[in-house]
Amino acid sequence: MIAELIFAGTELLLGQIVNTNAQYLSRRLAATGVDVYHQTTVGDNRQRLEEAVRTALGRADVVITGGGLGPTSDDLTKEAVAAASGRPLLLDAASREAVEAFYASLGRRMTANSLRQAFIPRGAEPIPNSHGTAPGVRMEVGGKLLFMLPGPPNEFMPMVEEAVIPALRARDPSGMKIISRVLRLCGIGEAEVESRLEDVIGGQAATTVAPLASPGEVALRLTTKAQDEASALEKMGPVEAQIRSRLGRFVYGTDDDTLAGSVLDLLASADLTLAVAESCTGGLLADQLTDVPGASDRLLAGVVAYTNDAKVRILGIPRETISGRGPVSDEVCAAMAVSVRRLCGSDLGVSITGIAGPAGGSETTPVGLVFIGLSSGSDGQVRVARHRFPGSRRVVKGRAARQALVVLRDHLLELLSGLPDPEQADSRDR
């Protein structure tokens, strides 16, 4: 089965946004065993969109469009498909109700042009949009499947999962699928991973292994072709086992797992609770933890003690400690971890204080200097580590929050195994 993808949007042609929908959909189609030979991007122009749809219908089995379904006059995908398929646009009653209900739920007035979203080509089926107003569309044209999906990624991606993939699976129940599995690592750098896996990466084996790196994070993608998930996992099994035997506890999860999620799972296994005190990360660590459903079982609270005064007023850190050693110091970091733990009555307290930049650095406390503290145990023991992270303000915040999660994970693994981690001393600043 061959699919062709068409993306509509002048903002794509002007380079104002990156087409993340293209990557997402391509990856999901590959995982479903559907081949893609062409992807086309055109602007908000009815004639060029119509030509692209006509060309795609001429050479693919499935055509999927993204974008151009909204209420405004430059949303032209349905008009283009209607013209290319010779089917007039008709008002769909269910879609009209859905659009009306969406505006009502927001307490907003529905404008006349909003109704454009409820028109679909004759013979087509609307696809409910659980994350926005514009319904998607599914139709058959001369035995070919055609889907129109809305452009915003938070509407596009769920609709791929809910409507497109199941329909393609139902059409082609037999084919081989391209199946990938991602192993997510922390506390180790990309070069170190590559050198430990030199003989495994990039080979021509039935299972290929490729590194995927983003700032502060390393992952490995294992890919194979198989009839189904189970036989793919069986084929990949020995390769994954080999990687795990060499990289031991650096692997924190697979696929869509997050480091924050793995830390929350470890907290649950150890039956411990957590509170966090953040200065330079400004709430990012708490935000990442609370992105995980059910986080409130383990994360009791966070304090963004962003100013010196807040460190005194909320956390009760002595003003002299701050003025004596400076707010970015191991003493203040230790006091933050101990205080937030006491304030919240949690089992563990984590603290972060540093200079995220771009301004505010000095010779003794340069931009990127970050202290991370952990208070734990019945004796109120506190450990503080000093780091220096490169990058912009946002990147320094991200690396610092991630490192705090690595510290927590190492501590929890050590607690749960009852043994100190031999690699831990090696895991700083990655």
- Contact characters 197-216, its own copies, x per CB under 8 A: -x--xx-------xxxxxx-
Judged by CB under 8 A, the stretch of 89-97, 263-271, 303-311, 371-379 that binds its own copies is 303-311
- Residues between 152 and 191 that touch its own copies (CB under 8 A): 152, 154, 158, 178, 180, 182, 189-191
CB of 124 to its own copies, least distance (A): 22
Q: How far is the CB of 237 from its own copies (least distance, A)?
A: 21
Least distance (Å) between residue 37 CB and its own copies: 6
392 is a site residue for its own copies (CB under 8 A): yes
Is the CB of 123 or the CB of 215 nearer to its own copies?
A: 215
* Three-state DSSP state, 36: strand
Query: CB within 8 A of 103, min separation 6: which ones?
Result: 109, 110, 114, 133
Asked if 378 touches its own copies (CB under 8 A), the answer is no
Amino acid (one-letter) located at 137: V
The only residue of 295, 352, 382, 384 in contact with its own copies, by rule CB under 8 A: 295
Alpha helices in 248-327 (DSSP H): 259-270, 284-290, 308-313, 319-325
Residue (228 or 309) nearer to its own copies, CB: 309
Considering only residues 66 to 85 of the shown chain, the ones binding its own copies according to CB under 8 A are 70-74
Shortest Cβ 7–its own copies spacing (Å): 8
Give Cα 108 to chain centroid, integer Å: 30
Residue 351: in which H helix or E strand, if any? strand 348-354
CB of 58 to its own copies, least distance (A): 12
Task: Answer for the pair 348, 372: CB distance below 8 angstroms, yes or no.
Answer: no
Binding string, 100-119, against its own copies, x = CB under 8 A? --x--xxxxxxxxxx-----
Please, what is the minimum distance in Å from the beta carbon of residue 227 to its own copies? 19
Letters for 2-41 (x = contact with its own copies by CB under 8 A, - = none) are --------xxxxxxxxxxx-xxxxxxxxx-----xxxxxx
Residue 119's closest CA among 96, 143, 98, 97?
96
Q: Which two tokens stand for residue 123?
A: 């013979």
How does DSSP assign 164-232, residue by residue? IHHHHHHH-SSS-EEEEEEEEE-SS-HHHHHHHTTTTTT--SSSEEEEEEETTEEEEEEEEEESSHHHH
d(CA 247, CA 185): 9
CB of 320 to its own copies, least distance (A): 19
Q: Which stretch binds its own copies (CB under 8 A): 161-169, 262-270, 347-355, 357-365?
A: 357-365
d(CA 180, CA 14): 33
In the region spanning residues 214 to 273, those forming contacts with its own copies, defined by CB under 8 A, are 214-215, 221, 223
